Structure 1
């Protein structure tokens, strides 16, 4: 019995060794060929590689560094052979989606001339344009601070860019019968902020009785649109939105460019950002002229600084954020409004600085989706800057739009009885009006608060200014137009 058991154990050991030896013989060639098979898989799945690249800033940056290293190695070795697949994976994705629907977000703040910039898009016949739809969110969630609302703004943007306007139901005022269809809870076009100046809403086919066709360039008269174009269901507007190759949304309530990174990474959105800047002193001058209309939102911006610093105590001292029935000191109306406007401008300048540094350090694929524009350049060189804007947006140039941009910056005067009403202005007066209307102390306060952002934007301080502005660093002066406009 013992001999049989011993032989059985020896047979089992021999069989086990034979199986292990067979497995080793089979696995070694597979392991040795694994690298080459992986390369073949990469060739067969380039779309997967591109998708992975666009979802990660780090991967895109690494791909660009690898591409630069390969280019240097090719120059040193004299090799001109291209790599098997592109190292800049996100660039390949950009080429793949360039023929798809384009989405543009105009990133600005209050009183920077963003209404004029947005109107250039509104006039283009290939553009579906929305004017500050996030106004509804801020009104509904007041007195929420600007920073806490950034995530909700981004989610709202995502829905609107996909022509899904049902998100507006969350923030539409319940007591406005004009914003809803009769006998239903469905929204109408009257629920949109500034709908009376929207070219799509105020022209056929949504408005058969409109006096002007959609392709005709010219400002929409709000009273004429309200008279000729009764509100239609919001679903009809969604259907029109899906017909346009370019969707543009302009707003002033997003304070952090970095919040948009998830949307910029989304290959299905094909999003680009146009950020508009203006001399902070001119912004402050314009804000003071419109102080009552901007007071409420300035408080929301200023609330972002309540957390543990001096502004929390100051807001409470002036009755903002105090408990009902609590005691608070109150300044006269005008100085109190000026204080809030000045404090909000300081927060805005800090946000500008973050955006500028973020854009400067971003990888190349993201910088290709970002355009920085100064208001002063736009109104001094309207046709040249318009061509630059249209190239970035993938839109065709139009002679009528060139003439419109030029005429809007060559108006008779700068001032207007309706500060939030778009009209032709004198561009030179608009650029330099702050010099005559701000006191020396006001200029000093703005320059002290906004100095870092002003340096990056090439806005000289008062004592550093010459007779003419210097071109921005890294850029060449644009050529003078034929009519002498620069």
Structure 2
């Protein structure tokens, strides 16, 4: 019995010696490394970057790597005389990068009208609806993958998202025009005004031919054009030399870099901006319709902060507090929309700084446009945009864009309806409809982006009170 106890104590002692030896082997190198780092800490301390958010963005999206690749390009490679990539002869893909209430529907309609363009209106709406309440930042990867498929005329990806939002019995038949394998053109967002869907050959009884320039009557299209399968739509997509997709749900330009690197995709990006004060005014007019997606944008705020976006105080809703239940709901909606606008303005700032550091090959594939410039100089801007896309300029389109911006009056009663209006009046409508406090809050939140976009503040130092700074010549960014 004593011999067994002695052997057990001997084994325990041996085990302790082994563990102690291992601890020493691990601890000594750590102490030496810590001492070495502490000794040279002050000597090799990294310099604080002047613009942390930009530095982090460049590193995150691999921008510096692209710059090194550009420096190794052989001489002679560059843009052609028309602004397109040298050697382009295949299919071209255009992404209209915008946000809500910037005039993006009007910009997209210009491409929808072009006879050589296959156009899709906000197909990522389906993705956001299906994955709600996921935040905007976390959805960028799925959105980019969806874009890749759609640009290649593969619409099967829509079946993953364009389904009824409520759970249903998997054994039950799919709803007419709903999601799943039976998804048709009638299940696509914005199909009633799509020139391809509402004209022959997909719609033999269409009242207007595809090559005719003019707005589609959505009600007439719905009556005359029966739903068609997605395979038929894919076949039409492959016939067109240019595919254009407009959407408002991509938060950052850098998320498109993997697509811009793909030479066979030949992607080009047009980014649309608008005066944030006008954006805020327009968003308030449609606050209930934009509430759900504003919450998704606002939820990206805390995820974006570790990536270098400066943290700001949310814009308070004007008059918050007091009032009945309906008034409190209105204030709550304005609070979410205001907070989302701050996130959007910071994303704009990142994109603007981002594009200024872009290598030459990328600058040839990217251009900027201000809504104000488009409606003030519609024909000149239309020619520039179509030239950037490698498209001809039909004379009827010049008349169309001029008529669309010279309507009788500006009305915000139906903000999502595309119609002829006095767009120049819409530029300054925010001055009459926003309070001074609302204007001040937007300028405080979006001032840096406004400065880069040449939007002057409402009252600059030294200006007489009442002068309209927006009436002065403003420099474009395109």
Tell me the TM-score range normalised by the shorter chain: 0.7 to 0.9
Match of 2:115 among 93, 113, 125: 125
Match of 1:178 among 171, 176, 179: 176
**Is 2:391 the counterpart of 1:391?**
no
Write out per-residue CA displacement over residues 340-378 of structure 1, whole angstroms, 9 at most, x where no aligned residue. 010000000000000001100000110010010000000
How far residue 206 of structure 1 moved from its aligned partner, in angstroms, is 0.2
C-alpha distance in 1 between matches for 2:402 and 2:426: 14
C-alpha distance in 2 between matches for 1:257 and 1:90: 22
SS at 1:432 equivalent: helix
Pair 1:236–1:442, CA change in 2 (3 A) = same
**Is 2:256 the counterpart of 1:260?**
yes
Match of 2:158 among 133, 150, 168: 168
Q: Which residue of 1 aligns with 2:67?
A: 61
The answer (yes or no) to whether the contact 1:60–1:365 under 8 Å persists in 2 is no
Write out per-residue CA displacement over residues 41-76 of structure 1, whole angstroms, 9 at most, x where no aligned residue. xxxxxxxxxxxxxx9855653465568xxxxxxxxx
Match of 2:475 among 447, 472, 475: 472
Q: What is the number of equivalent residue pairs in this alignment?
A: 387
The structure whose Rg is larger is: 1
SS at 1:157 equivalent: helix
**Is 2:337 the counterpart of 1:341?**
yes
Question: 5 Å matches for 1:431-446?
Answer: 431-446=427-442
The answer (yes or no) to whether the contact 1:97–1:267 under 8 Å persists in 2 is no
* TM-score, with structure 1 as normaliser: 0.75
Write out per-residue CA displacement over residues 317-345 of structure 1, whole angstroms, 9 at most, x where no aligned residue. xxxxxxxxxxxx99811100010010000
Q: Which runs of 5+ in 2 are unaligned?
A: 1-60, 169-173, 316-324, 461-467
Write out per-residue CA displacement over residues 198-231 of structure 1, whole angstroms, 9 at most, x where no aligned residue. 0000000000000000000000010000000011
Write out per-residue CA displacement over residues 240-286 of structure 1, whole angstroms, 9 at most, x where no aligned residue. 00000000000000010000000001001000000000000000000
Q: Which residue of 1 aligns with 2:56?
A: none
How far residue 417 of structure 1 moved from its aligned partner, in angstroms, is 3.0
C-alpha distance in 2 between matches for 1:341 and 1:215: 39
Pair 1:296–1:60, CA change in 2 (3 A) = closer
The answer (yes or no) to whether the contact 1:60–1:90 under 8 Å persists in 2 is no
* TM-score, with structure 2 as normaliser: 0.76
SS at 2:413 equivalent: coil
C-alpha distance in 2 between matches for 1:281 and 1:235: 43
More helix as a share of residues: 1
Match of 1:213 among 194, 206, 209: 209
Pair 1:117–1:345, CA change in 2 (3 A) = same
**Is 2:206 the counterpart of 1:191?**
no
Pairwise CA RMSD:
2.8
C-alpha distance in 1 between matches for 2:422 and 2:160: 40
Q: Which residue of 2 aligns with 1:113?
A: 103
How far residue 301 of structure 1 moved from its aligned partner, in angstroms, is 0.3
